[in-house]
């Protein structure tokens, strides 16, 4: 026999207390009577000098001691380990993303999830083992396989919600690898289900149990924020923001814009159900500073009510166009304000003299070391040449990417494109059935935009989306554009040409020490808090902002089921779907025996005193 709560044995210390009560003499009250003949025995007892009396045989004492001993025994929750069929291997996944900070349940969704996970820990048998994973922007193995409940309770209690979006796919894939080729495995997911990436996972034979937390869904959140120089007014900045209402009710809120803690704008916004509202603020700016947008909304999720963006005093961007002649491209580049453009027919690496290079249908002998807009060309270190494709239709494009803001490819035909496969660090943005037509990404601090076809072999230069895309590309390739990132993304910036130490202050006031690479590049990955970060190196300092800006995370209505792959669905469960020790425990029978003793004591006492 084993015990789930052996610490309850401390209540056995109450057994001597009952005995002491029977040893104590009763306190007598003095009464005036006519004769003491009938009270002689009573007088002899009251004349004793000791406050204690001899312990006599008393069936009531015996019954009460047995009753108390059974109650203590029941509190230890005994169970019979010999009846168990075998040990279980349990993987518990605790969602610690931003949406778990929602307070639609008291005190928060994370607290509710931790309480449910604690019940799962208590249900473990002695030979069961559990792995605890924390799933946010990245998946962390917080506790390796163990049967020690105290260790599991400790790491569970230390779990905190981050400001990052949910990426449950990585956690579920890791759980699948941990449970592969094991008998009696269980995977328990404690989450609100706000993760769209699970549709990429095929459930197969994974024994997954979804513990749904959260109830409400009313929430307003900031899902985009950016700042751009005013195209017509020098010294003025245009701040663009989008506020999303993910609930089924119309919601309103005051929206305030601050620049370096100074209020520069305030307005009232009302957003219809499951809709968005766009806001534009115009503000003066003469120095570098941070614009902070705040929603004065008392909804269930506070983390998406604030966003910040660093705005630098505008300087001219420097670019080099290497082309054999493309008037459409050159005109589109020259139409971008504050852009100094040099045009060359042959490429010689300008190094730090320019902010980015545009390669237009040319193959350079040496690939540029800085940011690149590569049109109908490719680096053989990144791409594997595989011929070309004729007339590829455009089937999809990612309009949410900053490069494709206000850009669409309706009625754009392409005559010929490269059938190249971009490297893994590039994200396809415009796709055809055979190969991506446009991709972008960042590798070792170098940003690259790749167009797999010559715009002159398409109808794109005749569309208004072409100059808009070029303007977006100029902003995205500008090194100053990397002063704002999403929560959980690493921050990259080249600071110098040699290694040096850097001190980074996080939004909560704590600091981290790090070093740049041998080439002077700063790579910082601890960006799980939303807010403004300050990096100090030598006598210099720079700021960068980290924001949530995630519509899926702001959509806080918890999912009643999870769609995994094309055919699998996991329904939410309220109770832990496990073979718990509760089925093997004997405390219920002990409690019934205790009840029987209580009834017997009542009958025996009244029978004796009748």
With respect to residue 510, please indicate whether it lies within any of the assigned structural domains: no
- 297 with 226, same domain: the answer is yes
Output the CA angle 447-449-451, nearest 5 degrees. 165
State residue 478's pLDDT score. 82
pLDDT of residue 610: 57
Q: Are residues 336 and 452 in the same domain?
A: yes
pTM: 0.69
- Asked if 17 and 90 sit in the same domain, the reply is no
Supply the pLDDT for residue 226.
Answer: 85
Within-domain flag for 182: yes
Q: Is residue 488 part of a domain?
A: no
Cα atoms found within 13 Å of the Cα of residue 51, Cβ hemisphere only: 4
Q: How many CA atoms lie within 13 A of 175 on its CB side?
A: 31
Residue 525 lies in a domain: no
Q: Judge if 404 and 458 occupy the same domain.
A: yes
Residues 106 and 123 in one domain: yes
pLDDT at 337: 78
Query: 159 in a domain, yes or no?
Result: yes
- Assess whether 249 and 284 both reside in one domain: yes
CA–CA distances in Å: residue 535 to residues 447, 483, 506, 546? 21, 11, 9, 13
Distance CA 257, CA 262 (A): 8
State the pLDDT at residue 579: 43
Residues 321 and 262 in one domain: no
Which residues, given as ranges, of the chain have pLDDT below 70?
1, 3-4, 22-31, 33-57, 79-86, 231, 234, 313-314, 350-352, 384-385, 479-482, 497, 574-585, 608-610
Domain edge (last residue) among 462, 477, 492: 477
pLDDT value, residue 4: 67
CATH of the domain at 156: 3.40.50.410
pLDDT of amino acid 577? 43
Same domain, 204 and 242: no
Alpha-helical segments (H) within 272-350: 327-334
pLDDT score recorded for residue 54: 64
* Cα–Cα nearest to 355, from 373, 374, 337: 373
Examine residue 541 and state whether it is found in any structural domain, yes or no: no
CATH code (residue 465):
3.40.50.880
Other beta carbons less than 10 A from residue 510's beta carbon:
10
How far is the CA of 199 from the CAs of 1, 168, 195, 213, 379, in angstroms? 45, 10, 9, 20, 33
Q: Which domain holds residue 89?
A: 82-215+558-584
Dihedral of the CA atoms 470, 473, 474, 477 (nearest 10)? -160
Distance CA 356, CA 333 (A): 12
Tally of domains in the chain: 4
Residues 6+ apart with CB under 8 A from 370: 351, 352, 354, 355, 356, 357, 446
């Amino acid at each position: 026999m084993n015990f789930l709560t052996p610490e309850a044995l401390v209540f056995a210390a109450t057994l001597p207390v009952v005995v002491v009560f029977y040893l104590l003499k009763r306190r007598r009250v003095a009464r005036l009577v006519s004769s003491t003949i009938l009270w002689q025995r009573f007088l002899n007892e009251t004349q004793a000098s000791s406050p204690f009396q001899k312990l006599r045989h008393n069936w009531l004492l015996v019954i009460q001691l047995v009753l108390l001993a059974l109650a203590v025994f029941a509190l230890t929750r005994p169970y019979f380990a010999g009846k168990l069929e075998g040990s279980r291997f349990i993987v518990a996944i605790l969602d610690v993303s931003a949406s778990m900070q929602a307070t639609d349940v008291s005190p928060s969704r994370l607290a509710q999830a931790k309480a449910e996970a604690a019940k799962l820990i208590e249900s473990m048998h002695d030979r069961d083992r559990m792995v605890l994973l924390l799933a946010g922007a990245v998946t962390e193995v917080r506790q390796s396989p163990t049967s020690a409940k105290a260790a599991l309770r400790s790491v569970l209690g230390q779990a905190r919600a981050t400001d990052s979006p949910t990426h449950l796919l990585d956690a579920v894939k890791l759980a699948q690898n941990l449970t592969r080729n094991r008998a009696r495995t269980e995977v328990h997911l404690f989450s609100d289900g706000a993760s769209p990436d699970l549709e990429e996972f095929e459930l197969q034979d994974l024994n997954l149990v979804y513990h749904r937390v959260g109830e409400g869904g009313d929430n307003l959140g900031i899902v985009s924020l950016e700042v751009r120089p005013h195209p017509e007014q020098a010294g003025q900045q245009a701040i663009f923001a989008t506020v999303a209402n993910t609930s089924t009710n119309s919601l309103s809120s005051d929206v305030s814009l601050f620049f370096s803690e100074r209020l520069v704008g305030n307005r009232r916004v009302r957003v219809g159900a499951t809709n968005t509202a766009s806001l534009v603020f115009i503000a003066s700016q003469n120095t570098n500073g941070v614009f902070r947008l705040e929603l004065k909304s008392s909804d269930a999720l506070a983390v998406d009510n604030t966003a910040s963006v660093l705005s630098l005093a505008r300087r001219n961007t420097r670019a080099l166009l290497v082309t054999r002649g493309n008037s459409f491209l050159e005109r589109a580049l020259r139409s971008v304000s504050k852009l100094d453009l040099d045009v060359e027919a042959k490429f010689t690496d300008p190094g730090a003299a320019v902010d980015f290079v545009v390669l237009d249908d040319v193959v350079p002998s040496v690939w540029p070391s800085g940011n690149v807009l590569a049109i109908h060309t490719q680096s053989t270190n990144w791409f594997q040449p595989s011929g070309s494709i004729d007339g590829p239709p455009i089937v999809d494009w990612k309009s949410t990417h900053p490069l494709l803001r206000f850009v669409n490819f309706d009625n754009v035909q392409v005559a010929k494109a490269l059938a190249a496969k971009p490297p893994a660090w590039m994200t396809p943005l415009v796709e055809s059935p055979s190969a991506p037509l446009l991709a972008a990404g960042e590798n070792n601090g170098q940003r690259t935009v790749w167009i797999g076809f010559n715009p002159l072999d398409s109808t794109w230069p005749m569309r208004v989306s072409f100059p808009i895309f070029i303007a977006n590309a100029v902003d995205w390739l500008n090194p100053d554009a990397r002063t704002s990132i999403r929560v959980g993304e690493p921050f990259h910036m080249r600071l110098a040409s040699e290694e040096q130490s850097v001190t980074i202050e996080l939004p909560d006031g704590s600091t981290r020490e790090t070093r740049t690479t041998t080439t002077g590049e700063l790579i910082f990955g601890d960006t799980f808090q939303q807010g403004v970060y300050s990096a100090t190196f030598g006598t210099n300092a720079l700021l960068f902002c980290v924001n949530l800006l995630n519509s899926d995370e702001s959509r806080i209505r918890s999912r009643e089921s999870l769609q995994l792959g094309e055919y699998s669905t996991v329904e939410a469960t309220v109770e832990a779907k496990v073979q718990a020790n509760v089925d093997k425990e004997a405390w219920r029978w002990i409690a019934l025996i205790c009840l029987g003793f209580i009834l017997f004591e009542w009958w025996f006492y009244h029978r004796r005193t009748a």
